[in-house]
């Protein structure tokens, strides 16, 4: 019976709070538009996130998810955002995968490669257990033209 209970516990859903912050100011960007991938799969799960009243996102993961990648997809008439965890990578920045168990037990703040290290340390947020925090920046005019 203990074996069965252990298997059920491993398959239980997990909830993670997501905070998407503007890289320069550290202010929360209120949205539920995220592209979520799990376990190094290419299938996107945009519908797994709902916006909380405070502007954060609530990501509900099915059991068996060990890693995740979250990308900003917020687009409006004026803004397109890109993640800052791979901003220092030239050419084709890769996806960054994060350990779900670490997020659930300790919380995780993704790197802010859009800020200079001296400035980034000043605005380093703290993640609580069950919380994932990542930084984004707006595409500049040149990057927007290149995307089209």
Compare 102 and 118 and report the one with higher pLDDT: 102
DSSP label at residue 47 = G
Report, as an integer, the average pLDDT of 19-33. Answer: 89
Beta bridge partners of 81: 138
Percent pLDDT > 70 in the chain is 72
Neighbours of 80 (CB within 10 A): 15
Q: Which fold is adopted by the domain 12-147? A: Immunoglobulin-like (2.60.40)
Structure confidence by residue, pLDDT tens digits, 38-73 = 999 988 887 889 999 999 999 999 999 999 999 887
For residue 67, which phi and psi values (nearest 5 degrees)?
Answer: -135, 155
Least confident residue range of 39-43, 101-105, 140-144: 140-144
pLDDT-based confidence at 11, cuts 50/70/90? low
Domain boundaries, the chain: 12-147
């Amino acid at each position: 019976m203990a074996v069965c209970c252990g298997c059920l516990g491993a398959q239980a859903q997990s909830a993670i709070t997501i905070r998407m912050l503007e890289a320069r100011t550290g202010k929360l960007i209120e949205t539920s538009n995220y592209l979520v991938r799990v376990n190094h799969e290419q299938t996107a799960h945009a519908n797994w996130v709902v916006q909380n009243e405070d502007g954060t996102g609530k990501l509900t993961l099915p059991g068996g998810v060990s890693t995740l990648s979250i990308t900003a997809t917020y687009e409006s008439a004026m803004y397109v955002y890109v993640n800052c965890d791979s901003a220092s990578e030239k050419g084709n920045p890769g996806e960054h995968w994060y350990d779900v168990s670490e997020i659930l037990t300790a919380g995780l703040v993704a790197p802010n490669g859009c800020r200079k290290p001296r400035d980034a340390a000043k605005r380093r947020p703290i993640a609580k257990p069950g919380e994932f925090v990542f930084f984004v920046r707006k595409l500049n005019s040149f990057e927007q033209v290149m995307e089209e």
